[in-house]
Amino acid sequence: MSESSKSSWDRPVSPETTAGFVPVERPQAKKLRSRHVTMITLGGIIGASLFVGSGNVIRTVGPAAVLSYLIGGLLVFLAMRMLGEMAASRPAIGSFMEYARVGLGDWAAYLVGWLYWYFWVGVLAYEAVLGGETMHLWFDAVPSWAWSLILLAIFVGTNVISVRTFGEVEFWLASIKVLAIVVFLGAGVLFAFGLWPNATNSISNLWEHGGFAPNGYGAAFTGVALVIFSYFGTEIAVMAAAESENPAKGIRQSTTTIIWRILLFFVGSVLIIVTIVPWNELPAPTDVATAPFTYVLSLFGIPGAAVIMQLVIFTAVISVLNSGLYSASRMFSALAEQGFAPRAVATKSKSGVPVVALLASTVGGLIATLVNFLTPESGIFDFIMNSAGLVALFVYLFIAVTQMRLRQKMTPEEVAGLKIKVWLHPWLNILLIACIVGVIVVMMFSEGGRTQVWTSLIATGVLVLFWPLVRRNLKRRRARDTDAAEDDVLSPVSPV
């Protein structure tokens, strides 16, 4: 290929993952196996937002909540397909942040990378608090805040050993979640058709009690703003696949199978709930005991339904905590490698774990956790939670724009050689961008949504204010690196 025909996609994505360069192999590093990536792909997005939060969506929308989850899932599927096209060509641990750097520029990588890290620090705090409170219910001799710190310490330990250890822990935690959903779906189908002991056919619940959309179909579209955040975390599978033994296979698997995972685990579960229980009789999910999954299990006549769901939801909580530490540390390390964070943050252990980034991310989550327990009335914890609310939409927006931009920069030969390709390019990109803007507009019409929008914009504004300083430091760092490289080339070779 001539120099003039090369696309800007030939620019390095990262020092270690660029297809055009020889990867830096760490013989000591144990990479993720195929089964790890498979289970992370299957169970990574199943969390408390599905087990508990789905109850609020159903009570707001009615049986049409199925449409809310279906539309939200479609948007996520499109975003993952776009990410998959980029990742299959260039597996990168920094994922969409590094693609944004190549496609849109340093400013885009800086914004989306730091927002993503900030989101997961908030998630770490939230899951640590939730996990600590759950452990306190079982073992009340130890205070909730102590349990939260213990859980953080445990999963920092699993992550710091090696990526293989993270994958092994997540494999078993995800397996429990997947098994629970499969059993729930199987029993739910039998119950809905009256084939379960003491059950009667309840299919009519879909259109009785005010109809399929008792609050109007507009409520179903409003519900998309509530459910789309339940899907956030799907990109973890792509990040993990980049650290697997077969990155290309893992990325293809995680991005091409997401649609049926969404249909089965999310849409299928919600469909079972609204079929078995009249939507207006579902209790408000104030805790695990009143969660929709717990309520349906009690209808099955399964003894100890509340305890079973407590265990499953706790598994989901610590699974997200484990994945959150992984995601936050990898993104923080990638930011440091590209010059958007101190260089020391990118330091890796012999096993290839970005240990400094991991510990720094944990400190962020630890501070937010302690703020919740020490000053619950200050509003700081609530601000952190709310200000991370739009990150999912921002990430999907950057993915759509970046993929569209990179495709424009590619040569026809490169497009023809894509292993995963976005259909109807660029119209699906435009559709996804329009839908994301629509969800944000819808959020502005609800009190909770407005709070998330404005606090997220404030957090983004803070990052924008720091960008000139970061850009200056970035130029100096690259200049020093260039000078150092030239000195190495010009320095004479010492005689042996």
Stretch among 209-218, 228-237, 418-427 having the lowest mean pLDDT: 228-237
For the beta carbon of residue 80, count every other beta carbon within 10 angstroms. 25
- Checking if the pLDDT of 98 tops 60, the result is yes
- Does a structural domain hold residue 36? yes
How much is the pLDDT for 440? 87
| Cα-based distances in Å from 471 to 75, 143, 462 | 33, 44, 15
Going by pLDDT thresholds of 50, 70 and 90, the confidence category of residue 389 is: low
Q: Is residue 267 part of a domain?
A: yes
Report residue 456 as tokens.
């997220």
CB atoms within 10 A of CB 78: 21
Decide if 386 is inside a domain.
yes
Q: Say what the pLDDT of residue 94 is.
A: 58
**Is 132 within 8 Å of 147 (Cβ atoms)?**
yes
- Distance of alpha carbon 406 from alpha carbon 425, whole angstroms: 12
Per-residue model confidence as pLDDT tens digits over 45-64: 788 788 888 888 999 899 99
Q: What is the pLDDT of residues 116-163, one digit of tens each?
A: 998 888 888 888 888 888 898 889 999 988 999 999 999 999 999 888
| Domain span holding position 125 | 29-476
**DSSP string of 164-233, one letter each residue:** HHHHHHHHHHHHHHHHHHHHHHHHHHHHHBT-STT--B-GGGGTSSS-SSTT-HHHHHHHHHHHGGGGTT
What is the percent of the chain where pLDDT is above 70?
A: 88
How large is the average pLDDT for residues 79-105? 83
* Residues 6+ positions from 120 with CB-CB distance below 8 Å: 324, 327, 328, 331, 361
Which range among 203-212, 222-231, 265-274, 419-428 shows the weakest confidence by mean pLDDT?
A: 222-231
Domain contains 495: no
- The C-alpha atoms of residue 103 and residue 116 are separated, in whole angstroms, by 18
Alpha-carbon torsion angle 280, 281, 286, 292, nearest 10? -100
Q: Is residue 24 part of a domain?
A: no
Tell me the CATH number at 423: 1.20.1740.10
Indicate the pTM of the whole model. 0.84
**252 domain-assigned:** yes
- Note whether residue 483 is domain-resident: no
- On the question of pLDDT at 3 being above 60, the answer is no
Whole-number Å distance between alpha carbons of 53 and 286: 9
The residue assigned the tokens 């609800």 is 446
pLDDT value, residue 15? 34
Decide: helix, strand or coil at residue 244.
strand
Around Cβ 34, how many Cβ atoms within 10 Å? 14
Residue 11 has pLDDT above 80, yes or no: no
Residue with tokens 């619950």: 376
Q: Is the dihedral of CA 482, 483, 489, 493 positive or negative?
A: negative
Count of domains for the chain:
1
Beta-carbon count within 10 A of 32 CB = 26
Distance CA 51, CA 258 (A): 19
What does the pLDDT read at residue 107? 94
The 10s digit of each residue's pLDDT in 329-342 is 999 999 999 899 99
pLDDT at 92: 66
Phi–psi pair at 481, nearest 5 degrees: -65, -40
Task: Give residue 68's pLDDT band: very low, low, confident or very high (50, 70, 90).
Answer: very high
From the list 98, 99, 18, 88, the residue with the least C-alpha distance to 248 is 88
Please give the mean pLDDT across all residues of the chain: 83
Kindly state whether residue 482 falls inside one of the protein's structural domains. no
pLDDT at position 22 is 34
pLDDT tens-digit series, residues 234-261: 778 777 777 887 777 777 777 777 888 8
At how many degrees (to 10) do helices 305-337 and 106-138 cross?
Answer: 150
> For 345-369, what is the mean pLDDT?
89
